[in-house]
Structure 1
Amino acid sequence: MEELANLDASALDDIFNNFYDKEEYGDFQVANRNFREIDPDDFLLENENKNTKRKTESDMKLFMSFLMAKNEARLPEYIPPDELNHLLCTFILGITKKDGSEYEPTTIRGFISSIDRHLKSKSSHVSIFKDVEFSKTRAVLTKKQQQLKSLGLGNKPKTAEVLDDATLDKMYENGTLGDGNPRALIHSMWLICTSYFGMRTGKECHDLCWGDVQLCIDEVTGQEFLMYDKERQTKTRSGCNPRDTRTVKPKAFGNDEDTRKCPIHLYKMYRDKRPESMCSDESPFFLTPGGGTQKSWYRKAPMGINKLHNIMNDMKSDANITNSRITPYSSRKRLIQKLQDEGVPANQIVQISGHKNINSINNYSKINNDQSKNISDILSNKISNTHSDLQVRSSTPKSASMTMSDCVRAGDNNGKPPQGLFAYSHFNGNVTFNFNSSISESLSQMSAVTLNRNTSSASGSAVVDPCSPIIRPYKRIRMLPDSDTDSN
């Protein structure tokens, strides 16, 4: 290797020309390449998550004010671990809001996480969540969270609600959704992206380009549909793992019943109302309304990320909706809740929502009011609510839930169990059969045949009398287990 390093460019050319397949790869030349000069620290700082950076700076201002109140002038990265451990414990136990009320448990943990991120950014070799020197801090944090939970905190009172059908209908009625004006059209396109494609509002919608959504035609049926063809950086697929890509591309098909809700109609209209220069593949998808002409409804400028975050507030304002828990995340929650209510399997829902873990959809959905009422009726033993009982137990095989009395009633006139009890039945997985008899006879008595021998009969034949106490004895049959070997 040292000898190759001392060779000049012409000598290296001769070496590669002798061992290089020109017919397959073409001419190869050793030349000086131009490489960009980028400082790694500046690159990392520039590509840091802006929301995380903003929160870290805000939390560190709060912690620095706490240090100043404790007459501590040193920066956190210069404080020895044992002293910093004591200060963090005091900070956790003493921090309150401006009005003196307690913070939420997750908020206090977020403060400590911000301090830990600050220490790492300053090349500190300590870790609050891993080092043994901060075990007391972690113990105090856990106990503080448990104390706040006992006070009724930590229940996420401001969590977003699902965007239900009634709220959507009100938005359509007030013209904030549909194709009537530029604002309504851009709101409808945002709703398609967040509901049909499972996109998160904010950065994901802001980074979306016009060529990322394609208008396609089904080769079999000839039906048009929209396809989310190119996914960019998302929360669950940030690009750290190049192999982690979305395998299923979400689609949105047309709605012939109402053009205001038809993704195909809205997309074509949005395409026609965009400036021609903003229809290239790399053009931003969401444009700012206000083109000023009948042909072009939008400017040649992308919609800001803050505007996309507040787009639900604009929709609520236009529709006179005051529910503060209807947020931009309500549309994404609607996607998951709606599919779950219709019985779509969780493994199919995550392929549209983009979640990596199936259990994550539990944070976006909950049982609806009808399901809650059915459960309450079952627990209340409401016999009249037959429909609710059947709906909850619809997954139970009918033959597996039959009692012995049902079997008897389903037999012939003599009360014998029907032949082929499990005929035409299909069972998946482990199935347990419970045979409960609601009549006085036991199973052996039901299978027994009472006989009354007629002694006066010349033929001596036995006459069956159901009222006779005489019971015909049966031999016990011993079941032999199957052998695992091939030999008899």
Structure 2
Amino acid sequence: MHLGLRGRQEHVTMLWGDLELRKTNGTDGRQYLEFTERATKTRKGLNDEPRMFKPKLWEEKDDPHCPVKMYLLYKENRPTVDPESRFYLQVNRYWQTKGNWFNTCPMGKDSLGTIAKALSESADFSGKHTNHSGRKTFISNLLDKGVPPREVAQISGHKNLQSLNHYHSLSIERQQELSEILHAPQKKDTPGTSETNFRTDEIDDSELVN
């Protein structure tokens, strides 16, 4: 979700070298993962919407599901860390007796296409979920928390800010807040002090915007 990948195909073509472990400067530097979709021998062109900033996943030291910890665990149990090897590998069904947790063969597009559905069902989520759902959640969560649309577009790769509207909808919590605003008693303004002192009897029909 943190990377905002566009769908199944970007997961299929994702390579191990696309995700790099880095660290901020200073003695107490914090580790993070940085995503860069690189042009390689087998992947000549980049996507049509280059990102102004490379998406990053920061370590959360007190979280057992820290993305950096998960990355290092995955790295330790992969049979290869060749930068041009596929990021998603097939599970080794005999890992208990034959070493690595994963095989050298990449996961197929059909298997990758069902991951989001399987995870949402195991978590008892409602509704339909696909690989693109992660990108929608990535964008809508940032917008819900008040992150300016321009900043969201810079890391999502969107060229048009209007296209973000497709991903964003009012949460049930926000809808409740709006309802409470409308339900609350309206403060009566002293005549002549209201910032928006409308007089409907003075409005000409020609001034109305259709």
Structure 2 length-normalised TM: 0.78
Partner letter of residue 310 of structure 1?
T
The percentage of aligned residue pairs carrying the same residue is 30
- Contact 1:210–1:284 (CA under 8 A) maintained in structure 2: yes
User: Residue 237 in 1 paired to residue 44 in 2?
Assistant: no
User: Residue 312 in 1 paired to residue 122 in 2?
Assistant: no
- Contact 1:198–1:354 (CA under 8 A) maintained in structure 2: no
- Contact 1:231–1:246 (CA under 8 A) maintained in structure 2: no
Q: C-alpha offsets along residues 23-44 of structure 1, whole Å, 9 cap, x if unaligned?
A: xxxxxxxxxxxxxxxxxxxxxx
1:322, CA displacement in angstroms? Answer: 6.4
Match of 1:103 in 2: none
Unaligned runs of 5+ residues in structure 1 are 1-194, 239-243, 387-402, 406-433, 438-488
Partner letter of residue 302 of structure 1?
P
User: Residue 251 in 1 paired to residue 56 in 2?
Assistant: yes
Match of 1:325 in 2: 128
User: Residue 270 in 1 paired to residue 58 in 2?
Assistant: no
How far apart are the structure 1 equivalents of 2:121 and 2:157?
30
Bigger RCO (CA 8 Å, 6+ sep): 2
How far apart are the structure 2 equivalents of 1:280 and 1:225?
20
- Contact 2:117–2:128 (CA under 8 A) maintained in structure 1: no
Aligned positions of 1:142-161 closer than 5 A: none
1:317, CA displacement in angstroms? Answer: 3.9
Secondary structure of residue in 2 paired with 1:259: coil
Structure 1 length-normalised TM: 0.35
How far apart are the structure 2 equivalents of 1:371 and 1:246?
29
Match of 1:204 in 2: 10
- Contact 1:340–1:346 (CA under 8 A) maintained in structure 2: yes
Match of 2:205 in 1: none
1:291, CA displacement in angstroms? Answer: 5.4
1:365, CA displacement in angstroms? Answer: 1.2
1:343, CA displacement in angstroms? Answer: 0.7
Q: Which has the higher strand share?
A: 2
Secondary structure of residue in 2 paired with 1:266: helix
Aligned positions of 1:130-149 closer than 5 A: none
For the structure 1 residues 324 and 370, does the alpha-carbon distance in structure 2 shift closer, same or farther, using more than 3 Å as the test? closer
Partner letter of residue 216 of structure 1?
R
Match of 1:289 in 2: 91
Secondary structure of residue in 2 paired with 1:230: coil
How far apart are the structure 1 equivalents of 2:8 and 2:133?
13
How far apart are the structure 2 equivalents of 1:383 and 1:377?
10
How far apart are the structure 2 equivalents of 1:328 and 1:200?
8
34, 39, 53: which one aligns with 1:227: 34
> Which stretches of structure 1, 4 residues or longer, exceed 4 Å deviation after superposition?
none
Match of 1:361 in 2: 164
1:356, CA displacement in angstroms? Answer: 1.7
How far apart are the structure 2 equivalents of 1:206 and 1:274?
17
1:376, CA displacement in angstroms? Answer: 2.2
Q: Which has the higher helix share?
A: 1
- Contact 1:210–1:281 (CA under 8 A) maintained in structure 2: yes
Q: C-alpha offsets along residues 303-346 of structure 1, whole Å, 9 cap, x if unaligned?
A: 11111111112213434x36342332222111111111111110
1:245, CA displacement in angstroms? Answer: 3.5
Q: C-alpha offsets along residues 396-424 of structure 1, whole Å, 9 cap, x if unaligned?
A: xxxxxxx789xxxxxxxxxxxxxxxxxxx
1:436, CA displacement in angstroms? Answer: 4.0
User: Residue 371 in 1 paired to residue 174 in 2?
Assistant: yes
How far apart are the structure 1 equivalents of 2:174 and 2:50?
35
Secondary structure of residue in 1 paired with 2:32: strand
1:229, CA displacement in angstroms? Answer: 2.3
Unaligned runs of 5+ residues in structure 2 are 196-210
141, 147, 162: which one aligns with 1:344: 147
What's the C-alpha RMSD, in Å, of the aligned pairs? 2.7
Partner letter of residue 225 of structure 1?
Y
**How many pairs were matched up?**
186
9, 12, 21: which one aligns with 1:215: 21
Q: Which has the larger radius of gyration?
A: 1
How far apart are the structure 2 equivalents of 1:404 and 1:317?
57
1:354, CA displacement in angstroms? Answer: 1.9
For the structure 1 residues 369 and 286, does the alpha-carbon distance in structure 2 shift closer, same or farther, using more than 3 Å as the test? same
1:211, CA displacement in angstroms? Answer: 0.6
Secondary structure of residue in 2 paired with 1:248: coil
How far apart are the structure 1 equivalents of 2:122 and 2:181?
42
Aligned positions of 1:449-468 closer than 5 A: none
Aligned positions of 1:408-419 closer than 5 A: none
